[in-house]
Amino acid sequence: MTMVANHPDIVGRYDIEGRTDFYLVKRTELDRSAFALARIIERFGIAAGRYILTVALSQEIVQFAPFEEACTMLGFIGTNADASPMDAGRVESICRQFDAAAVCGVDAAVLQGLDEAGHALGPIFAGRIIWARPDAYHRLAALEGATVLRCAKIGPALALECLEKGGLHLDGREWALSAPERTIRMTSRMARIHPLDDVDTGVAGTVDHSACACGSRDPRVILRD
């Protein structure tokens, strides 16, 4: 039998130093991230009991499981679809069936799948809060009637934009960020089973450490388009 004291709960993936590698976490680390995300999401005033759709890939568990957990903490009902063209029909079906209040993680692959299936984007996303990934943001931002914000994976974390649109918030207690050159570097501040020390996330952008108008003191990542 193996000693389990320092055993991870989950092996996910992250992009680091120009490659994709495995990232090990404990559930308690994801729970900490969930609290940080809940602080951002609760400012949107979504009523408890509404449905929130998370669009991701299974291997993105380290980044997106905290978002799901944050939604649970806030009393929302979570539902999911794959971030792939093949599963885009599920995004349409869930938005229609459950009147999702928000959709997080929409990417270009989903938009491609919706296009291929002949779905117009407006009827699917209008009236909802959409956190779009960088490769889908500009197309969705052009839609009328949807509140379109950015989300992005920064190493093993998920960064979300608030309604102020002043950059993507990342938990400042958990991560120290810097951008000495073109890309964001991150260091873990708390005890983690897989600590990071000034690693390059490959995400092009800058970091704003000033207080956000939404009231958050977390650092914000300004993505370079």
Residues forming contacts to another protein in the complex (CB under 8 A) are 1-4, 7-13, 20, 22, 24, 27, 48-49, 51, 54-59, 61, 64-65, 68-69, 72, 75, 77-84, 86-87, 89-90, 93-94, 97-98
Q: Shortest gap between Cβ of 198 and another protein (angstroms)?
A: 24
Closer residue to another protein in complex, CB, 58/210: 58
- Considering the complex, state which of residue 102 and residue 207 has its C-beta at the smaller distance from another protein: 102
Residue number with CB closer to another protein (66 or 205): 66
Radius of gyration of the chain (CA): 17
Tokens of 19: 């490659």
C-alpha 185/C-alpha 39 separation (Å) is 23
Nearest residue (CB) to another protein, 127 versus 215? 127
Write down the least CB distance from residue 203 to another protein, Å: 21
As measured in angstroms, the least distance from the Cβ of 214 to another protein is 24
Place of tokens 């964001």: 184
Contact 25, 8 (CB under 8 A): yes
CA distance linking residue 58 with residue 77, whole number of Å = 19
**Cα angle at 73 between 67 and 74, to 5 degrees?**
95
CB of 225 to another protein, least distance (A): 26
Query: How many angstroms separate the CA atoms of 211 and 43, rounded?
Result: 15
> Residue 36, CB half-sphere, CA atoms under 13 Å: how many?
26
Kind and range of the H or E element at 169? strand 168-169
Q: How far is the CB of 40 from another protein (least distance, A)?
A: 19
Q: How far is the CB of 50 from another protein (least distance, A)?
A: 9
Q: CB-wise, 78 or 166, nearer to another protein?
A: 78
Q: Which is nearer to another protein, 71 or 184 (CB)?
A: 71
3-state secondary structure of 29: helix
Report CA-CA distances (Å) from 95 to 48, 81, 98: 17, 11, 6
